[in-house]
């Protein structure tokens, strides 16, 4: 996970939950919606990153880049002369 990259949270299909003791909001993306045998609505979801509390943006993980087919180009820092 690259911590210095932040992107906007996708508007459709995202679920934000805080399950841990530190109250860090994790962002999940619903990949499939279905009903189980009892007719209850269910989802399959994938963790795509954490929500930055200060900016409200998403700090994406590798699954985000796989699901949304985004490529990152990182330029190396130039050395000072």
DSSP string, the chain: --TT--BPPPSSSEEEE--STT-PPEEEEEEEEEE-TT--EEEEEEEEEEE-TTT--EEE-HHHHHHTT-----PPPPPP-
pLDDT at 16: 77
Q: pTM score > 0.75 for this model?
A: no
* pLDDT in single tens digits along all 81 residues of the chain: 556 788 888 878 778 776 777 788 888 888 888 999 999 999 888 999 998 888 888 999 988 888 887 777 666 777 776
Structure tokens at 55: 């900016």
């Amino acid at each position: 996970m690259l911590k210095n990259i932040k992107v906007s949270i996708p508007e459709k299909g995202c679920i934000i939950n805080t399950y841990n003791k530190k109250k860090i909001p994790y962002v999940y993306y619903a990949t499939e919606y279905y009903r189980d045998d009892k007719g209850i609505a269910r989802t399959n979801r994938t963790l795509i990153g954490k929500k930055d509390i200060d900016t409200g943006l998403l700090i994406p993980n590798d699954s985000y880049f796989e699901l949304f087919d985004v490529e990152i180009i990182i330029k190396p820092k130039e050395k000072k002369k």
